[in-house]
Structures are given as structure tokens and as C-alpha cells.
Structure 1
Amino acid sequence: MPFYETIHIRPQTQLHLWKIEEPLDSLIAGVPLQDHSLIRLHKLKSEVHQKGFLAVRHLLQHLGFSDADLLYDASGKPHLSHGQHISISHSHGFAAVAISNENLGLDVEAMRPKVLKIAPRFMDVDTHLSGLSLAEQLQKATIIWSIKEAVFKIKNEKGISYPSHIREQPFDPAEGSTVARLDFKHQTELFPVQFIQREDYIFVCVFES
């Protein structure tokens, strides 16, 4: 069973990781799903996404929950039936679940060279990546992309632009934390950020302050 790790991100927040190594048939057979979850699974066209969907359910099962404990609101945001906040994410080889007493957004990203090609679309490359080695650029650009994705999971409002509205304070990737800022609709909000790296993956948790 490829349960990978539990990380205590904050005193009331745990990040749980599952390394996706099983074939699809094994993942399907290993976890009971409700009818609406089966429908949702079969609508996913990519096997990678199907595996991620199922690995999240395996992770919840490992933590003592079931598929029935995971609820979704009208906007598609997940909730746990017992009331704690939850955010889920998966990317290729990892699935992750963050459970907290605080509202949060979680994003998982594989560090792939593609992120440097699209970096100018979501960040000021000269400001953030100047003077870094290629490996450092890849790491930092992935962290920044994940921060913006996680902020959007919390806010989820039409019209939010990653390059124009979401920014992060200067940070050193080795420190594992920063603060994100959302300037939108004449309001400014700050979001504490915690991030870690495991293997070639970045895991980012953003909290609603």
C-alpha cells in the first residue's frame, strides 16, 4: 500500500501523501465508491486523472474516511461530512489530501520543464528567476504556479487573473513559506503559504487569513 507520508504543516493542519504506483484495475478494486463518484470517475478521459481520483479515495480510506464522507458544494469545492476543511490535489505520481480546522487550498505539481515555457504567462520572470540555475528556476516557478492555483481554490471567483491579481512576497524555496496577496475587486487579501518538496513534486498549502 503506497501511503507515503503525513506532514504536520501547521498545528491544526495535516498533509497526507499517497504515491500512485498501482495499476488502474487495482485502484478501482480497492475502494468502494458511491454511484455519483463512479459516474464522475468514468467521465474522466485520462487514465492519469482516473488514477489520481482513485488514489485520493484510497488516501481517505487510509485515514479512516470513506467516499461517502467527501461532499462537494455547488462550486465543486470538497467538504468533509464531519465539518473539518479539506483540500485535495493530484499530479501524475502523487495524490494529496490536506485536512485542517482552517479554510485552505492545496495544490500538487510535478516539476516539469514545461512550467518554464509558460512562466511568462503567470509571473514576472525577470523578478523571480533572474540569477538562478536551471534547476532552481524550475523549482521556484513550480512553487509560484502552485501558490496561484491554491489561492484560486480558496477564492474561485470568475475574473481572477494569475499574473495580474495574485502575487507572492519574495521567498527562498529552502524556507518553505511565504505570503500570497490577492488584489481583486478593489480589495486586498493576504494568504499564509506553506510548501514542501518531495522527490520531483511541489506541495503547496495556502490558508485563508
Structure 2
Amino acid sequence: MPLYKTITVNTSTKVLIWNIEESFETLLDGVVLTPQCQDRVAGMKSDIHRRGFLSVRHLLQKFGYTAHDLFYDANGKPHLKDGNYISITHSFEYAAVIVSTSHDVGIDIEMKRAKIIRIAPKFTTLKDYAHLTNEEQLVEKLTKVWCAKESLYKIYATPGLSFLQHINVFNFKEDALATSGEINYNHTQTLYDIAFLEFGGFMCAYAYPKI
């Protein structure tokens, strides 16, 4: 099984990343699915989405969990029945899970694609990147910002939270491996540390509260 990378963030937090190379049938073998999970998989028309879903269940098992230990609240945020904190992501041929025993966490993976430039005004102020005249550098920076904001949003997971108005990622150099961010919502400010990881044309960001 292609467990691509294991990252120990701190003594209470770990990230596991999976490279989705197997067929759906291979991934299906060896995972225990709840009836709800079986229904979800059966309803997925995209093979890559089905394989991403199953690879996440394999990652759960690497952490010592099964699908029975995972549930989602009304806002779609995943939770573990033992009270530990979890965040999940998958994009094309990669999936990742972050688990912490001490604090809420968020993670996101995105493929680096030029279309990020078109949608950038939905989550950031594009004029802030005017110095990046090289499209490849612009795509990389914007993808990092998007992943960072997505990971923060997954921590909060509250309807009405705006990527543009309420989530701020502090500026960082294009090759930075870490930055900080904040969520300002309902008169409350919360600060977070954010780490970046790049592999195979993909960007990953994971976030956790600043201590």
C-alpha cells in the first residue's frame, strides 16, 4: 500500500499522506465500511473520487481507526468518537489525514493548476501578487494561499465564514515552508500555524492553533 509520507507535526499531531495508485477493487479489499459509507461509495460516479474515499479509510486504519469511529456533524466537519481531532482531504491521486489528540486541525491538498488565477478574487486580493509576473510562480503562491485558507476553514467549519473577509493568511515568501494565519469571526480572533508541503505537482497545507 503506498503510504507516501508520514509527518510528525508535534508530540500530539501526525499527518499521513497516501498516493492513490491502486484500483478501486484493490482499495476496497481490506477496509471495513459502514452501511452509510457503502451507500456513499455506490453513489459516486467518479472513479477517482471513489478511490480517494477508500484511500482515506485506509489512512484511518493506519491511525488505528475504522469507518465506524468517524462521523460528520451538520456542517460536514469530521469527528472521531474518541474525542481526538481529525481533518481529511483528497485531490486526484493523493489523500491525507491529520489527527491530533490535543487541538483542532485542518488539512488540504490541491493540484497546482492555472485556473487558480481565475478564481483567486474569491479568496484573496489579486493585486497583492502583482510582483509575480511569472505565471508558474503566481500559480504556486495562490495555490499555497488557497490551501492555507481551506485548512483554516476546515478547523472552523462554520456557515457564513468567508475566505475573503474572515480568513487571513500572513504574507510569506514564495518558497516558504510555513506561515501563520488568523480567523476573525464573530468578534473573536484565533491565530494558527500553517505548514506547506509540495510533491508531484500538488500543494498541501495543514494548520493548527498557535500556542
TM over 0.5: yes
The one-letter code of the counterpart of 1:12 is: S
Runs of 4+ aligned structure 1 residues displaced above 4 Å come to none
Residue 75 to residue 98, structure 1, CA distance change in 2 (3 Å): same
- Cα distance in 2 between the residues matched to 1:34 and 1:89: 19
Q: In the TM superposition, what are the counterparts of 1:140-155 in structure 2 within 5 Å? A: 140-155=141-156
| Residue of structure 1 equivalent to 2:107 | 106
Partner of 1:28: 28
1:72-116 residue CA offsets vs partner (Å, 9 max, x unmatched): 233322222333211110000100010112111111111111112
1:176 aligns to what? 177
Q: Which moved more, 1:125-134 or 1:111-120?
A: 125-134
The alignment yields a C-alpha RMSD, in angstroms, of 1.8
Give runs of aligned pairs for residues 60-99 of structure 1, distance below 5 A.
Answer: 60-99=60-99
Structure 1 gaps, min length 5: none
- Alpha-carbon distance in structure 2 between the residues aligned to 1:141 and 1:187: 26
The alpha-carbon deviation at position 188 of structure 1 amounts to 2.5
User: Which amino acid counterpart does residue 140 of structure 1 have in structure 2?
Assistant: K
SS at 2:158 equivalent: coil
CA distance in 1, matches of 2:11, 2:172: 22
Q: TM-score, normalised by structure 1?
A: 0.91
| 1:18 lines up with 2:18 in the alignment | yes
TM-score (norm 2): 0.90
Identical aligned residues as a percent: 35
Correspondence for 1:46: 46
- Give, in angstroms, the shift of residue 56 of structure 1: 0.3
Q: Does the CA-based 8 Å contact 1:122-1:163 persist in structure 2?
A: yes
Post-superposition offset of 1:34: 1.3
Q: Is the 8 A contact 2:88 2:98 kept in 1?
A: yes
Choose 128-137 or 102-111, whichever is displaced more: 128-137
Once the two structures are TM-superposed, the CA of residue 57 in structure 1 deviates from its matched residue by: 0.5
Give, in whole Å, the separation in 1 of the partners of 2:144 and 2:124: 11
With 1-10 and 174-183 compared, the bigger mean Cα shift is at: 174-183
Cα gap change, 1:108 to 1:205, in 2 (>3 Å): same
TM superposition shift of 1:143? 0.9
1:104-140 CA-to-partner distances (Å, cap 9, x unmatched) read 1111111111112211221112213523522221111
Residue type of the alignment partner of 2:175: A
Which SS does the other structure have where 1:164 is aligned? coil
**What is the CA–CA distance in structure 2 between the aligned matches of 1:158 and 1:32, rounded to whole Å?**
32
CA contact (8 A) 1:108 1:201 kept: yes
**Equivalent residue number for residue 163 of structure 2:** 162
1:189 aligns with: 190
